[in-house]
C-alpha cells in the first residue's frame, strides 16, 4: 500500500477565504411562478407600478360618514344619520354620502364619494333606515388612504432580497407574476469508492451504503443550490476523470466528490485534478476533514470531500454550505447560541477541531464519535470550533455553538 503524506496543510482561515473567493454568484436569472418564489433571490429592484391600495378604503366594518357630521358625537350625545346604501369589499360604489347621510361599509370596501371617515359598527345602532352613531371620528379616521402602503414609483424591494412569505405577499400585492430571480447553482454530487452500494439495494461483502451523496445533496439544496446526484464511481483515474468532465459538460457551477481526496494508494482525485485543471489547496489543519481539497477544472469548482461520513458532512456544513450560499446570492447564514460545556474536552494542538454537540438545559453535550460515524451529527444540534492553540476546555466553560 502506497501512502503519501500531505506536503502542506493550509490553515482553516486560509481554506475558508479561498473557498469563498472562488464561489462567485452565478449571475444568471430565470422567471419563476409567484407561488414558487419563496426562498429565491430577487434578480433586480422592484419598483411599484401602482398605488397600494389603489383607492381610499374602509379599515373597519361600520358606517362611512362625513367627519363634520359626527363632530361631538358620543354616548350622551348621539348623532342620527340616514343610511344611503351598503358597500362590501369589491363593490364599485353606486352611492354617495351627502350631508346628513351615512353608508354601511365592510372592511376593505371602497370609500364612497363624499365620505372621509368611518365610524365602527360597535358605536352604531341602525333602525328604520337611519343609524345612531355614538362616536366622533376625525377626517380619515378608520380609512386606509390610497397609496398609504405603497406609492406608485417607490422602490419596494432591492436586488438580492431573499423572498420570504412577506416579500412574496408584497410582490403579489403589486400584481407581479412571474418573478425574475437568480438561478440556483447546479452542483454535481458524486461518491467514489469500490465499497459503495446504493440505498434500496442489498449490500455485498465489505460494502457500505452511499450516505455521503444524499447528505451532501441535502446540504446543497438547503442552502439555495440544486444538487445533481451522479452515479457513484470506482476508485480509478478514468472514472474520476470522466466524472469531472461529465460535470463540466453539464453546465454546472461545481462538483462535490466524496472519497479519494486523501493520500492513500486509491486516493486519486488530486492527481486527476492536477492533470485536468488546478489544485487550489489540498489538506487543511482541521479535524475532522483534514483531506479536504479545493480545485478547478475549466469554470467548474471542485470540492474534494473526505469519504468518512461524519467528516464528509462536517466539511459540507463548514465549507460547502457557505460556498453554495454565495453562489446562490444568499447572505451568509451562521446561527449561533451560547452554552456551557457539559463535560471537560481535550483537543489536539495545531489543528482547528469541530466537535458536534447536543444542547440541553443550556449545556452543550459533546456527541462526536469519530469521522466514520454519521450518527454523531444526526444526534447533534450544532458544533463548536476549538481553535488550534487550545488543548483543553473545562466543564462549565462558555462556548459558541454553531447551529445546523
Q: Give CA–CA dist 84/104, Å, rounded.
A: 8
Helix (H) / strand (E) element for 188: namely strand 186-191
**Residues of each domain in the chain carrying CATH 2.170.190.11:** 57-144
> All 3 cell numbers of residue 339?
452554552
The confidence score (pLDDT) of residue 266 equals 53
Cis amide linkage into residue 316, ω under 30° from 0:
no
Question: In this structure, which topology does domain 336-403 adopt according to CATH?
Answer: Beta-clip (2.40.340)
User: What does the pLDDT read at residue 96?
Assistant: 96
Pick from 4, 43, 6: nearest CA to 293: 6
> CATH 3.90.105.10 occupies which residues in the chain?
31-50+152-182
Q: CATH 2.40.340.10: which residues of the chain?
A: 336-403
Domain covering 12-28+183-328 in this structure, CATH number: 3.40.980.10
Rounded to whole angstroms, the Cα distance separating 187 from 181 reads 18
Cell numbers for 340: 456551557
- pLDDT at residue 371, rounded to an integer: 58
Give the start-end residues of each E strand in 290-389: 293-297, 300-305, 336-341, 345-346, 352-360, 363-366, 382-386
User: Going by C-beta distance under 8 Å and a sequence separation of 6 or more, which residues neighbour residue 216?
Assistant: 189, 227, 256, 258, 305, 312, 313, 316, 320
Q: How far is 143 from 9, CA to CA, in rounded Å? A: 67
Buried b (16+ CB within 10 A) or exposed e, 33-53: ebeebebbbbbeebebeebbb
CA distance linking residue 402 with residue 404, whole number of Å = 7
Quick check: 87 and 95 in contact, CB under 8 A? Answer: yes
CATH architecture assigned to 31-50+152-182: Alpha-Beta Complex (3.90)
pTM metric for this prediction? 0.85
CATH for 57-144 is 2.170.190.11
Check residue 117 and give its pLDDT: 98
Q: List where CATH 3.40.980.10 sits in the chain.
A: 12-28+183-328
What lies within 8 Å, CB to CB, of 65 at 6+ separation is 81, 97, 102, 115, 117, 118, 119, 133, 137
Q: How does pLDDT run along the chain (404 residues), one tens digit per residue?
A: 344 556 689 999 999 999 999 998 888 999 999 999 999 999 999 999 999 999 999 999 999 999 999 999 999 999 999 999 999 999 999 999 999 999 999 999 999 999 999 999 999 999 999 999 999 999 999 999 999 999 999 999 999 999 999 999 999 999 999 999 999 999 999 999 888 988 998 988 989 999 999 999 999 999 999 999 999 999 899 999 999 999 999 889 999 999 876 655 557 899 999 999 999 999 999 999 999 999 999 999 999 999 999 899 999 999 999 999 999 999 988 899 999 999 999 888 899 999 999 999 999 999 877 655 677 678 899 999 999 999 999 999 999 999 98
What is the pLDDT, as a whole number, of residue 2?
A: 44
Amino acid at each position: 500500500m502506497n501512502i503519501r503524506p500531505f506536503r502542506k496543510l493550509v490553515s482553516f482561515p486560509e481554506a475558508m477565504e479561498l473557498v469563498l473567493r472562488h464561489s462567485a454568484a452565478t449571475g444568471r436569472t430565470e422567471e419563476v411562478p409567484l407561488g414558487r418564489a419563496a426562498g429565491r433571490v430577487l434578480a433586480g429592484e422592484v419598483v411599484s407600478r401602482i398605488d397600494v391600495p389603489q383607492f381610499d378604503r374602509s379599515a373597519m366594518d361600520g358606517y362611512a360618514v362625513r367627519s363634520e357630521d359626527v363632530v361631538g358625537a358620543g354616548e350622551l350625545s348621539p348623532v342620527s344619520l340616514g343610511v344611503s346604501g351598503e358597500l362590501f369589499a369589491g363593490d364599485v360604489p353606486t352611492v354617495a354620502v351627502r350631508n346628513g347621510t351615512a353608508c354601511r361599509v365592510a372592511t376593505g370596501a371602497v370609500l364612497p364619494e363624499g365620505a372621509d371617515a368611518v365610524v365602527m359598527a360597535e358605536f352604531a345602532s341602525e333602525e328604520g333606515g337611519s343609524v345612531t352613531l355614538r362616536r366622533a371620528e376625525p377626517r380619515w379616521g378608520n380609512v386606509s388612504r390610497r397609496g398609504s402602503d405603497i406609492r406608485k414609483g417607490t422602490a419596494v424591494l432591492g436586488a438580492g432580497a431573499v423572498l420570504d412569505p412577506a416579500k412574496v405577499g408584497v410582490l403579489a400585492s403589486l400584481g407581479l407574476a412571474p418573478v425574475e430571480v437568480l438561478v440556483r447553482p447546479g452542483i454535481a454530487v458524486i461518491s467514489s469508492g469500490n465499497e459503495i452500494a446504493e440505498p434500496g439495494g442489498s449490500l455485498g461483502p465489505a460494502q457500505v451504503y452511499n450516505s455521503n451523496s444524499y447528505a451532501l445533496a441535502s446540504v446543497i439544496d438547503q442552502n439555495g443550490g440544486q444538487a445533481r446526484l451522479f452515479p457513484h464511481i470506482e476508485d480509478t483515474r478514468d472514472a474520476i476523470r470522466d466524472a469531472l468532465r461529465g460535470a463540466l459538460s453539464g453546465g454546472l457551477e461545481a462538483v462535490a466528490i466524496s472519497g479519494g481526496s486523501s493520500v492513500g494508494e486509491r486516493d486519486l482525485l488530486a492527481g486527476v485534478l492536477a492533470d485536468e485543471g488546478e489544485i487550489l489547496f489540498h489538506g487543511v489543519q482541521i479535524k475532522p476533514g483534514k483531506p479536504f481539497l479545493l480545485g478547478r477544472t475549466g469554470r467548474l469548482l471542485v470540492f474534494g470531500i473526505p469519504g468518512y461520513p461524519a467528516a464528509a458532512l462536517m466539511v459540507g456544513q463548514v465549507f460547502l454550505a457557505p460556498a453554495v450560499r454565495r453562489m446562490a446570492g444568499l447572505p451568509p447564514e451562521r446561527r449561533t447560541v451560547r452554552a456551557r460545556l457539559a463535560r471537560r474536552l481535550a483537543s489536539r494542538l495545531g489543528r482547528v477541531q469541530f466537535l458536534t454537540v447536543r444542547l440541553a438545559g443550556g449545556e452543550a453535550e459533546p456527541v462526536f464519535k469519530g469521522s466514520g460515524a454519521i450518527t454523531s451529527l444526526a444526534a447533534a444540534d450544532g458544533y463548536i470550533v476549538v481553535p488550534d492553540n487550545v488543548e483543553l476546555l473545562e466543564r462549565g466553560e462558555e462556548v459558541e455553538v454553531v447551529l445546523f
